[in-house]
Structure 1
Amino acid sequence: MRLYRSQRFIRPDLECHISSKALKHNVRNLKSLCKDGTKYCAVVKANAYGHGIAEVVNILKTEDVDFFAVNSFYEALHIDTLIDRQSILIFEAVYPSQPREQILISAERGFHCPVASADAVNFIQDVLEGSSHVFNAHLNIETGMSRCGLDQNEAQTLIDLIDQAPNVRLAGIYTHFATADEVELDYAYEQLRRFEDFLGTASIRKRKDVIIHASNSAATIKMPEANFDMVRCGISMYGYYSRPMTDPPIKLSPTMKLQAPIARLKHIPAGHSVSYGRSFVPYRDTVAAIVPLGYADGYWRCFSNKAPMMVGEHVGKVIGRVCMDQLLLDVTDVPGVAVGQMVTIIDDKHDSPCGGYALADLAETICYEILTSVHAHVSRIVH
C-alpha cells in the first residue's frame, strides 16, 4: 500500500496558541442553535482553518461531535487514527482516475464522500465488487452555488444508479449556500426552497438512513430552517461570524493567538530608509524590533507599513516591507521593550487592532484567508 506521509518541520519560537476552552465554547454555542438530535460536523479542512488539524481534532474528539469534515482523502487519512467514534466527511468528490486503493481505504474506514457522476459510481462499484465493503456516497445538489452541485435530473439518475449498486449506499444529500453570510438572505432562502423541492421530489425525507445537510456556519447561526439532520460549522467554530455581526444570537470567541519573539532591537536614525524598496523613512530616531516572521510564515506582504501588532498592552506598527522571514516593528513608544519579548501578531480578541477582522480589513479580504495563511511549520500550542 502506498504511504501518504510527510515529515513536518516545526519552528517552536513562532507560537500559535489554541484555546481549547474557546473552541469547545464555540461548538456548544453553535449546537445550542439546533434542535435536539441534530448532528454536528466540525469542519477541519485547510489545517483546521490554520489552527492545526491534529490539535483541533484531539480537542473535539471527546465533545458531542458526530463528523469531522475535510477537503481531501489525504486529510481524512491524516486524522483517521486520531478519532474515536466520529465519521469523516470528505468534500472532494470521487473521480474515476484516482487511485483505486483510495476507494478501498475509504470504504474500509467508513469515510463519507461526494459522488458527482455515473462514471464515479461505476468506478466505486468496480473497485469493491465481490467485497463486503459498502461505500458511503453523498450527493451535492445544485441550488445556486454553481460550483460542484448536481442538477436535479442528474442527482435523481445517480440516486437510481446507487440504489442498484450492491457496494454503494446513499448516505447523504446536501447543498451549499452562496450568500448565507451576507446581510440580505433572499438568495439563500431561494436556495433553501430549491433544496426542499428536490427533497420532496426525490422522496429523500422518507429515507431515514440518509443524512440531509445544508447549513454552513452562517446558516447555522442565521437560518435555523436549514439545519436539517446535520450542520457543518467551520469558521464560527474558530470564533468568527464569517462577517462581523452587530447583534449575534450567540457569542463566539476567537481560538487563535499568533505570537513571535523580538529577536533584536535596532536603532534607526531619522531619515534612514528601511528594508526593501526604501518604502519607509522615519521622521524621527526610531527603535525597531526585528521579528522573525514574514510572508513565508503566512504573514502577508501587503501588511507592510500599515499593520499593527501588540507588544504587551502597547501597539507597534510594521515599518518597511514585510520580508520572506522577518519584519520590522516600530517600538519607539513601547516602554520597557526587550529582546525576547513576545509580540502578538494575530490577536484572540475581536476588538483588537490586530484581530482577525481588523487584519482582514487591512488586506481587503476575509478573516478565513488571514487564519488559513498561518504556515504549518508554526508551532501550535494548546491550552
Structure 2
Amino acid sequence: MRAARAEVDLDAVARNVAALRATVAPALLCAVVKADGYGHGAIAVSEAVLGAGADWLAVALVEEAAVLRRAGITAPIMLLSQPRLADLDAAVRFDLRVCVHTSAAVELLAAAARERGTRVLVHLKVDTGMNRIGVAPSDALAMATEITGHPELELEGVFTHCAVADELDNPFTGVQFDRFEQVLADLAAAGIEPCLTHAANSATAIEHPRGRYDLVRCGIAVYGIPPAPGLAAPLDLEPALTLRAEVSMAKRVAAGEGVSYGLRHRFTRDTNVATVPIGYADGVPRRFGLCGGEVLIGGRRRPVVGVVTMDQLMVDCGDDPVSIGDEVVLIGRQGDESITAEEWAGHLDTIAYEVVCGIGPRVPRFYRRDAS
C-alpha cells in the first residue's frame, strides 16, 4: 500500500448536506457526485449524502450513473448533460433522469423507452447565456412540445445553469433568471408546466435565493469547499478531504546544489531535503514547487522545491530534523497549521474544483465516520 492516501470524512460531508438543506429548504437538494464525487469517491459520498437527507444525485455521464446503480443506489439520478445518442438506451436501462436539448435525442430516447416498455423522465436544458449546452430560449417551447408529444416521455423538469453566480456583483445572473423565467412563462401559457424547475449550482443555491426554484444542484459545497473565496462563510462548511503522505527519503544537501529535473531550484545554504512519494501522476501539478506550493511536516509549512516529478516531490526542511516515515500533509490540518484546496488553487491560478478532481486514482481513498 502506498504511503500517499486521501482520507474523506463522511461525517463532514453529512454535516455539509445538513447545512445546505437548511439553507435551501423547501427546495429539493440534489448532490452532484460527478467526476468520482469531485475526487472524493462517488459511491461512498453518495451513500453519505443520501443518508444525510439529500433527495437526488447528479452525474455527467451514463457510465458514472451505472457505477452507482451497480453499487445498489436506487435514489433518483439526473444526467446533467445530454448523453451520446448511442448511450440513450443505457440511460433508460439504468432508470436515469435524462437531460435533452436536441430533437435527435428526443426521438431516440422515446424509441428506447418504447422498446423497453417504460416511461422516461426528461429534463430539458435551456441555455440562458453560458453558451455551453442547451436549447436556445426561443426554441424551448418547441422542444418541450416535442417532448410532451411522446407518450413514452415525461417532461419532469426544465433547467439552466448560471455562468457567474460566484461573482456577487455581476448582474448577469439576474439576466439569466429573467430569461429562464420567461421560458417557464411561455411553457405555462402553452399548458406545459414541469413539476421541477432548477438553475442553482452551489454558488447560486447559497447566494441567490431567487434561483433556488424547486431543486438545487450542489456539488463543491457538499465537499466543504466554498464555490469561490468568501462565499458560504455563514454555512461553516467543513472540508472533507485530507491528502497525506510520508517522507520516503531524507538527506542533507549542500549549498549550491540543485534539485529535481532541470535543477531549476538551487539551494543557497546547506539544508535538509525530504522526498515525498506523490507526484504529478497523482494530481500534484509539476509546477507546484515553482509557484509557492507548500506542505506540512512536523506541524510547520515547508516549501516544495524544484519541479514535481511523476511520482515524487522534494521539500526544503531547512535545519529542522526530518526522518523517513514522517507524516506529510498536502491538503488538510497538521497541528495548528492547515493547507486547503483553495490555497492550492491560488498558487496554481485555478479553482479548488480542479485541485480535488485532479487527485488521481493511484491515491487510495479511505473513509472515516464517527471518528473511526
TM-score range, shorter chain: over 0.9
Query: Which of the numbers 300, 303, 320 marks the counterpart of 2:288?
Result: 303
Give the counterpart of 1:230 among 215, 228, 235: 215
The alpha-carbon distance between structure 1 residues 106 and 188, as it changes in their structure 2 partners (threshold 3 A), is same
The structure 2 residue matched to 1:20, chosen from 2, 5, 10, is 10
Q: Does 1:283 pair with 2:272?
A: no
Change (3 A) 1:28 1:352: same
- Identify which of 225, 236, 239 aligns with 1:254: 239
The range that moved more, 239-248 or 372-381, is 239-248
Partner of 2:306: 320
> Is the Cα contact below 8 Å between 1:114 and 1:140 reproduced in 2?
yes
Superposed CA offset, 1:72-95 (max 9, x none): 001010111335441111122034
What's the CA shift string for 1:218-267, capped at 9, x where partnerless? Answer: 01110111111110001111112211117733111111110111111122
Q: Quick check: 1:47–1:376 contact (8 Å CA) kept in 2?
A: no
Change (3 A) 1:378 1:21: same
Give 1:193 deviation, angstroms: 1.2
Choose from 197, 204, 216 the match for 1:212.
197
Q: How does 1:153-192 map to 2 (within 5 A)?
A: 153-192=138-177
Runs of 5+ unmatched residues, structure 1:
1-10
Distance verdict in 2 for CA 1:126–1:92, change over 3 Å: same
Q: Determine the C-alpha separation between the residues in 1 that align with 2:277 and 2:84.
A: 42
> Kindly tell me: are residues 177 and 253 of structure 1, through their superposed partners in 2, closer, same or farther at Cα, counting changes over 3 Å?
same
Tell me if 1:140 matches 2:125.
yes
1:89 corresponds in structure 2 to: 78
Tell me what 1:69 maps to.
58
Post-superposition CA distance 1:334-379 (Å, at most 9, x none): 44x3211220011269x95631111111111111111111002211
**Preserved contact between residue 125 and residue 167 of structure 1 (Cα < 8 Å):** yes
One-letter amino acid matched to 2:5: E
Going from structure 1 to structure 2, the CA distance change for 1:130 and 1:263 (only over 3 Å counts) comes to closer
**In the alignment, which residue of structure 1 is the partner of 2:45?**
56
- SS class of match (1:61): helix
| In 2: Cα distance, 1:206 partner to 1:352 partner | 58
Q: Secondary structure at the match of 1:79?
A: helix
Q: Structure 1's 205 and 313: CA in aligned 2 closer, same or farther, altered over 3 A?
A: farther
Shift in Å at residue 204 of structure 1?
Answer: 8.3
1:46 corresponds to 2:21: no
Contact 1:61/1:83 (<8 A) preserved: no
The CA distance in 2 between the partners of 1:191 and 1:297, in whole Å, is 38
Segments of structure 2 that go 5 or more residues without pairing to the other structure are: none
The aligned counterpart of 1:342 is 327
In the alignment, the residues of structure 1 paired with residue 190 and residue 223 of structure 2 have an alpha-carbon distance, to the nearest angstrom, of 32
Aligned residue pairs: how many? 366
CA distance in 1, matches of 2:231, 2:94: 43
Shift of 1:205: 11
Of 68-77 and 83-92, more deviation after overlay is shown by: 83-92
Indicate if the aligned counterparts of 2:272 and 2:320 stay in contact, CA closer than 8 A. Answer: no
In 1, Cα distance between equivalents of 2:293 and 2:305: 9
Considering only aligned residues, what root-mean-square deviation do their CA atoms show, in Å?
A: 2.1
How far off its partner does 1:109 sit? 3.0
Q: What SS does the corresponding residue of 1:344 show, helix, strand or coil?
A: strand
CA distance in 1 between counterparts of 2:84 and 2:238 reads: 38
Q: Secondary structure at the match of 1:375?
A: coil
Q: Aligned equivalents of 1:348 and 1:56: distance in 2?
A: 21
User: TM-score, normalised on structure 1?
Assistant: 0.90
Contact 2:252/2:270 (<8 A) preserved? yes
**CA shift digits 1:129-185 (9 cap, x unpaired):** 354211221111121111102112322112111111121111210000000001314
> What residue is the counterpart of 1:359 in the other structure?
344
TM-score w.r.t. length of structure 2: 0.93
Q: Distance in 2 between matches of 1:249 and 1:192?
A: 24
What corresponds to 2:278 in structure 1?
293
Identity %: 30
Q: Which amino acid aligns with 1:374?
A: I
**Structure 2: which amino acid aligns with 1:82?**
A
**Pairwise CA distance, 1:105:** 3.3
Instruction: Measure, in 2, the Cα distance between the counterparts of 1:139 and 1:208.
Output: 12
